[in-house]
Amino acid sequence: MEYNCTFCGKGQREVKKIFVGPSSNICNECIGMCAGLLVEDGDCNENIRLVAAFETLPDVIAVAQKSLATLRAQLKTLAGVPSAVPVTEISPGSSKTK
């Protein structure tokens, strides 16, 4: 049986997890979004804060990578030579299991 998220409509293959209820389902992405909104409102406990932080982690990494690329480009411009500092690439998808 294939389940869809009632909130965003994504199928269970498109998301990491779907929680199936008696009349509706919700996926991990929608839970993360809702947790983020609750955190913004300040109306949550520590567990919800952790859920929000975990679900936004890939976005945070993507933003960090962009900033890193920008900084490296600026460094090159400032120094006039390619950066000699080796930088380890962070992959947002590397921790995911399929």
Which range, of 1-9, 35-43, 51-59, 61-69, touches Zn ion by CB under 5 A? 1-9
Q: Does 35 bind Zn ion (CB under 5 A)?
A: no
Tokens in use for 8? Answer: 């965003």
Distance CA 76, CA 23 (A): 56
Q: Please pick, from the candidates 16, 17, 20, 30, the single residue that binds Zn ion as defined by CB under 5 A.
A: 30
Q: Please pick, from the candidates 7, 38, 58, 92, the single residue that binds Zn ion as defined by CB under 5 A.
A: 7
Distance CA 93, CA 73 (A): 24
Question: Which three-class secondary structure state does DSSP give residue 19?
Answer: strand
Q: Does 8 bind Zn ion (CB under 5 A)?
A: yes
